[in-house]
Amino acid sequence: MAKVIEALLAAMTLEEKIGQLTMAEGSGHGTTRDVQSAIREGRLGSLLNVHGSEIVRELQRLAIEETRLEIPLLFGLDVLHGHRTIFPIPLAEAAAFDPPLWEATARAAAAEASRDGIMLTFAPMLDLARDPRWGRIAESPGEDPLLGSRFASAKVRGFQGRSLSDPTSLAATAKHIGAYGAVTAGREYASGDLSERTLLELHLPAFKAAADAGVAAIMAAFTDIAGVPAHANVTLLRKTLRCAWGFEGVVISDYGAVAELVPHGVAADLAEAAALALTAGIDIDMMGDAYRRGLPAALARGLVGLEAVDAAVMRVLRLKERLGLFDEPYRGLSRDAPADDGLGRDLAREAARRSIVLLTNDGVLPLPPGLRRIAVVGPLADAARAMLGPWAAIGEGTDATTIADGLRLALPDCVVDVSAGVSIAGSDTHGIADACRIAETADIVVLCLGEDETMSGEAGSRAHPELPGAQRILAEAILDLGKPVVALIASGRPLIVPWLVERASAVLATWFLGQEAGHAIADVLIGAANPSGRLPVSWPRDVGQIPIFYAERPTGRPEIAANRFTSKYLDVPATPQFPFGHGLSYSRFVLSGLRSTTTEIRRGQHIEIAVDVTNEGPVAGEETVLFFIHDPVASVARPLLELKDFAKIRLRPGERGTVTFTLTSEAFIFAGRSLAPVLEVGEIELFVGKSADRGSLLRTSIRVIVAQDRLADQPVSVRSDPV
Ligand code: NOJ
């Protein structure tokens, strides 16, 4: 086949080559006449936002039967958390800390989307996010590079399956490389400025993990780092991605982003924009039309050579080949939809249950049996579409169960009264009286607050990540009634609600859980499912704390309550409302007996660290155990905690089990002063616990001892003595 591709390249005109590098948008099921003639003339290699067997079949037929070279088209869509069956948003799913689950939902989404003619998904989104003002935190796996890396490999495995040529697989796109999550003040599309170290240690590891897992494509970020837009970043896209990591797949631009190099201020016209992007390594121009309009002039002006065009075309053709499109251009489409066996819905419900994080609980949950009347109050009580969250592909609000529906079904003998009280973002408070009326007669109030599906995701930045509209007024009116109140927060980000945390009997982060949201929430509230989600991000108590994350570096003046001149705020505590990893359960897990197989480690060796976990609670449940390290004396100050592994354990009441982590000396390597990897001798603190709350962790330590002779020819440099 390689020969066929090379022969194709040799036969192509410049226009046809640029066509392969051009991705245009069709609109949903339909497509315009322009797109059709562009296909016929070989001016388009791929399409986005076109799905459904009929239209895909027809457009593919044009490419195969009515073009000179019969090169099949590639169809791409943002299948981020499901196609038609919608799973929890990525931030929610990250809270499950569960790679097999992440893989399973991606696999199910791929199987469903590929039947609709989709071959390429613009997922997983892997941007490290430490700023809840940024709306795209909803699409991300959260604040931690290790968690993000595990998420990345699981999603790539899930989407791509065993082989890209399997018609149930999708080519995955790790997006958006270049520290998109570091936009200034959380404002969408804004410039970012960060150190090379931060890029290397925080923002790139998940992309490296995706590349190592064989991801087919990578998308560049809309944004720039210190004045260099990702789409023109040679160091990032060529030196790091292609040379250092050996990535051989396709690099895709974000929507219109090649042309946006002009307003970015680094290109004078489309020819310069096209030349910059192609030189940096962008193979496919998504909706910028900059390659079509700019590359011929760029070539004529000598800004870029034809060999760069050819290399990009070859990568695109190779992807089409790997997908099996030259043999089966209608891949996926011939498969009949399976009879609705409910398996997708079961998985969606399971994923949703596992994504819920129980933030506080004074004992009101699980709901006691025998409740006679509950009031389900708030604008999210009966909001089907909102449950799907942002980027819900072709999901339908009509497929989603609302919280009220879920509770009605779960509590058949209980009267379930429902009242919105206020709208999600409006200021009209007239409905609050009705909400209070039903709350007054209820045994318990379930208060359903939060955002709608448009308030996060792309272009969903909010300067005040709090409850929008008049929801606080509603909530306080309900809380003033003195009833037990269970507050559910539906959102694409942590919302700052310290007053609610203080006053409600229980608070749960229910994010956007997808189409089975209502059932999953009811399962957790009544105790049919024991909550096991853990926060993948630190949850702030005040907007002024943002960005907030657990892996802070030490300061020379750590906080001391009695000493003013230490690191703190005068008006709010420095600690988050809830730390990374926080999440309660109906079980009570106790960790004890932390031990390691050795107290010393040399390069190339490994250690095992074990901890016992006992379920001292009344019900079976699942605990997530987090394993952190801290290097207290190093050539570059290391974070106070760094997550190195996590594991889950299921235990019956009274049962004790052991969680074991195996670490190689690689885990202690970090970027030294020159950013080259170093393994330094000395003590490393090892911590195990349930969250990043330092005070709650079990601690032991190990010494890194390096045998100099064995390292002489190793690429990792070594300091023999800590300074
Ligand atoms: C813009 C978004 O940034 C990107 O994530 C998405 O894949 C494209 N639009 C296509 O929808």
CATH number at residue 438: 3.40.50.1700
DSSP state of 377: E
Extract the runs of DSSP E, i.e. beta strands, from 239-338: 250-252, 285-286
Q: Do residue 275 and residue 386 come from a single domain? A: no
Q: Roughly what angle, to the nearest 10 degrees, separates helices 270-280 and 290-300?
A: 90
CA of 449 to the centre of ligand 1 (A): 28
CA of 414 to the centre of ligand 1 (A): 44
Q: Do residue 308 and residue 358 come from a single domain? A: no
Q: From residue 148, give the alpha-carbon distance in Å to each of 193, 202, 203, 363.
A: 21, 9, 9, 33
Q: Do residue 633 and residue 524 come from a single domain? A: no
Would you say residue 716 has pLDDT above 70? no
Beta bridge mates, 286: 23
Q: Do residue 285 and residue 367 come from a single domain? A: no
CA atoms of 440 and 137, how far apart (whole Å) = 37
Q: Do residue 476 and residue 614 come from a single domain? A: no
Beta bridge mates, 613: 591, 657
Residue closest by Cα to atom 9 of ligand 1: 255
The 3-state secondary structure of 545-578, one letter per residue: HCCCCCCCCCCCCCCECCECCCCCCCCCCCCCCE
CA of 531 to the centre of ligand 1 (A): 33
Please report the sign of the dihedral spanned by the C-alpha atoms of residue 491, residue 508, residue 83, residue 167: positive
Q: Do residue 596 and residue 523 come from a single domain? A: no
What does the buried/exposed string (b/e) look like for 164-201 if buried means 16 or more CB atoms within 10 Å of the residue's CB?
bebbbbbbbbbbbbbbbbbbeebebeeebeeeeebbbb
Domain harbouring 38, CATH code: 3.20.20.300
Among 489-493, 599-603, 659-663, which is the least confidently predicted range? 599-603
Residue closest by Cα to atom 8 of ligand 1: 255
Tell me whether residue 139 is in a domain.
Answer: no
Residue closest by Cα to atom 10 of ligand 1: 255
pLDDT in tens, 15-68: 999 999 999 998 655 567 889 999 999 999 999 999 999 999 999 999 999 999
- State residue 34's pLDDT score: 87
Calculate mean pLDDT across residues 503-523.
98
Single out the residue of 496, 491, 527, 541 nearest to residue 389, CA to CA: 491
Which residues are identified as catalytic? Answer: 254
> CA 576, 582, 584 angle in degrees (round to 5)?
130
Would you say residue 714 has pLDDT above 60? no
Sheet order of strands, 46-50 included: 120-121, 74-77, 46-50, 22-28, 285-286
pLDDT in tens, 586-624: 999 999 999 999 999 999 899 999 999 999 999 999 999
What confidence tier does 717 reach under pLDDT thresholds 50, 70, 90? low
Q: Is the CB of 254 under 6 A from ligand 1?
A: yes
CA of 516 to the centre of ligand 1 (A): 25
DSSP state of 186: G
Q: From residue 315, give the alpha-carbon distance in Å to each of 6, 144, 247, 323, 387.
A: 11, 31, 11, 12, 39
Mutate which of 219, 285, 391, 456 for ligand 1 pocket (most atoms within 8 A of beta carbon): 219
pLDDT in tens, 256-266: 999 999 999 99
Mutate which of 51, 218, 255, 285 for ligand 1 pocket (most atoms within 8 A of beta carbon): 255
- State residue 707's pLDDT score: 54
> CA 705, 711, 717 angle in degrees (round to 5)?
85
CA atoms of 148 and 624, how far apart (whole Å) = 16
CA atoms of 187 and 355, how far apart (whole Å) = 27
Would you say residue 82 has pLDDT above 90? yes
**Rounded to the nearest 5°, which phi and psi values hold at 610?**
-120, 150
Longest CA–CA separation in the chain, Å: 79
Mutate which of 51, 80, 177, 254 for ligand 1 pocket (most atoms within 8 A of beta carbon): 254
pLDDT in tens, 98-121: 999 999 999 999 999 999 999 999
Q: Do residue 495 and residue 629 come from a single domain? A: no
Q: Are 291 and 285 in contact (CB under 8 A)?
A: yes
End-to-end CA distance of the chain: 57
Single out the residue of 577, 445, 456, 561 nearest to residue 504, CA to CA: 445
Residue closest by Cα to atom 7 of ligand 1: 122
- State residue 339's pLDDT score: 64
Place of tokens 């030490």: 554
- Residues of the chain with pLDDT > 70: what percent? 96
Calculate mean pLDDT across residues 134-143.
98
- State residue 33's pLDDT score: 81
Q: Which of 323, 341, 369 is the last residue of a domain?
A: 323
Tell me whether residue 666 is in a domain.
Answer: yes
> Can you tell me which atom of ligand 1 is nearest the CA of 173?
7
CA of 106 to the centre of ligand 1 (A): 18
Single out the residue of 712, 597, 604 nearest to residue 666, CA to CA: 604
The pTM score is 0.97
Tell me whether residue 582 is in a domain.
Answer: no
Q: Is the CB of 78 under 6 A from ligand 1?
A: yes
Report the domain count for the chain: 3
- Residues of the chain with pLDDT > 90: what percent? 93
Q: Is the CB of 391 under 6 A from ligand 1?
A: no
Tell me whether residue 674 is in a domain.
Answer: yes
Q: Residue 23: which residues within 8 A CB-CB, separation 6 or more?
A: 44, 45, 46, 47, 48, 74, 76, 252, 284, 285, 286, 287
Q: Is the CB of 157 under 6 A from ligand 1?
A: no
Tell me whether residue 712 is in a domain.
Answer: no
> Can you tell me which atom of ligand 1 is nearest the CA of 122?
7
Q: Is the CB of 260 under 6 A from ligand 1?
A: no
**Rounded to the nearest 5°, which phi and psi values hold at 646?**
-150, 155
Long-range Cβ contact pairs of 667-676 (< 8 A, separation 24 or more)? 667/629, 668/601, 668/629, 668/631, 668/704, 669/716, 670/201, 670/631, 670/634, 670/636, 670/638, 671/197, 671/200, 671/201, 671/636, 672/635, 672/636, 672/717, 673/635, 673/636, 675/196, 675/197, 675/200, 676/717
CA of 123 to the centre of ligand 1 (A): 9
- What range defines the domain where residue 528 resides? 354-545
Mutate which of 46, 118, 122, 176 for ligand 1 pocket (most atoms within 8 A of beta carbon): 122
Residue closest by Cα to atom 1 of ligand 1: 255
Neighbours of 106 (CB within 10 A): 30
Single out the residue of 255, 214, 251, 258 nearest to residue 232, CA to CA: 258
CA atoms of 388 and 399, how far apart (whole Å) = 9
Tell me whether residue 334 is in a domain.
Answer: no
Q: Do residue 315 and residue 362 come from a single domain? A: no
CA atoms of 547 and 131, how far apart (whole Å) = 5
CA atoms of 219 and 118, how far apart (whole Å) = 17
- State residue 710's pLDDT score: 41
Q: Do residue 525 and residue 464 come from a single domain? A: yes
**Rounded to the nearest 5°, which phi and psi values hold at 548?**
-130, 135
CA atoms of 92 and 579, how far apart (whole Å) = 16
Q: Is the CB of 283 under 6 A from ligand 1?
A: no
Taking 3-state DSSP, the helix, strand and coil percentages for the chain, each rounded to the nearest 5, stand at 35, 20, 45
Q: Are 684 and 600 in contact (CB under 8 A)?
A: no
Q: Do residue 521 and residue 632 come from a single domain? A: no
> Can you tell me which atom of ligand 1 is nearest the CA of 49?
11
Amino acid at 312: A
Q: Is the CB of 136 under 6 A from ligand 1?
A: no
Please report the sign of the dihedral spanned by the C-alpha atoms of residue 252, residue 257, residue 258, residue 261: negative
CA of 255 to the centre of ligand 1 (A): 6
Calculate mean pLDDT across residues 666-694.
96
What confidence tier does 697 reach under pLDDT thresholds 50, 70, 90? very high
CA atoms of 20 and 1, how far apart (whole Å) = 18
pLDDT in tens, 228-245: 999 999 999 999 999 999
Would you say residue 723 has pLDDT above 50? no
> CA 376, 378, 380 angle in degrees (round to 5)?
95
Would you say residue 93 has pLDDT above 50? yes
Q: Do residue 519 and residue 610 come from a single domain? A: no
Tell me whether residue 332 is in a domain.
Answer: no
Extract the runs of DSSP E, i.e. beta strands, from 343-428: 357-361, 373-377, 415-419
Residue closest by Cα to atom 4 of ligand 1: 254
CA of 364 to the centre of ligand 1 (A): 42
Q: Are 455 and 468 in contact (CB under 8 A)?
A: yes
Q: Is the CB of 180 under 6 A from ligand 1?
A: no
Would you say residue 720 has pLDDT above 80? no
Q: Is the CB of 102 under 6 A from ligand 1?
A: no
Q: Is the CB of 175 under 6 A from ligand 1?
A: yes
DSSP string computed for 243-254: IIT---SEEE--
CA of 50 to the centre of ligand 1 (A): 14
Q: Count how many residues are written for the chain.
A: 723
Calculate mean pLDDT across residues 137-164.
98
- State residue 709's pLDDT score: 41
514 in the Ramachandran plot: left (φ > 0), alpha (ψ -120 to 50) or beta? left
Single out the residue of 267, 278, 286 nearest to residue 308, CA to CA: 278
Q: Is the CB of 646 under 6 A from ligand 1?
A: no
CA atoms of 161 and 167, how far apart (whole Å) = 10
CA of 96 to the centre of ligand 1 (A): 25
Q: Is the CB of 122 under 6 A from ligand 1?
A: yes
Q: Is the CB of 586 under 6 A from ligand 1?
A: no
Average pLDDT of the chain, as a whole number: 95
pLDDT in tens, 413-429: 999 999 999 999 999 99
CA atoms of 126 and 145, how far apart (whole Å) = 9
Q: Which two tokens stand for residue 625?
A: 């155990």
Q: Which of 545, 571, 597 is the last residue of a domain?
A: 545
What confidence tier does 713 reach under pLDDT thresholds 50, 70, 90? very low
- State residue 579's pLDDT score: 98
Helix (H, G, I), strand (E, B) or coil at 68: coil
Domain harbouring 660, CATH code: 2.60.40.10
Helices (H) and strands (E) in the chain, counts: 22, 27
> Can you tell me which atom of ligand 1 is nearest the CA of 125?
5
Tell me whether residue 156 is in a domain.
Answer: no
Q: Do residue 647 and residue 541 come from a single domain? A: no
Single out the residue of 324, 330, 327, 314 nearest to residue 21, CA to CA: 314
Long-range Cβ contact pairs of 294-303 (< 8 A, separation 24 or more)? 294/258, 294/269, 294/270, 295/14, 295/18, 295/21, 295/271, 296/14, 296/18, 297/269, 297/270, 297/271, 298/271, 298/272, 298/274, 299/14, 301/271, 301/275, 303/271, 303/272, 303/275
CA of 316 to the centre of ligand 1 (A): 19
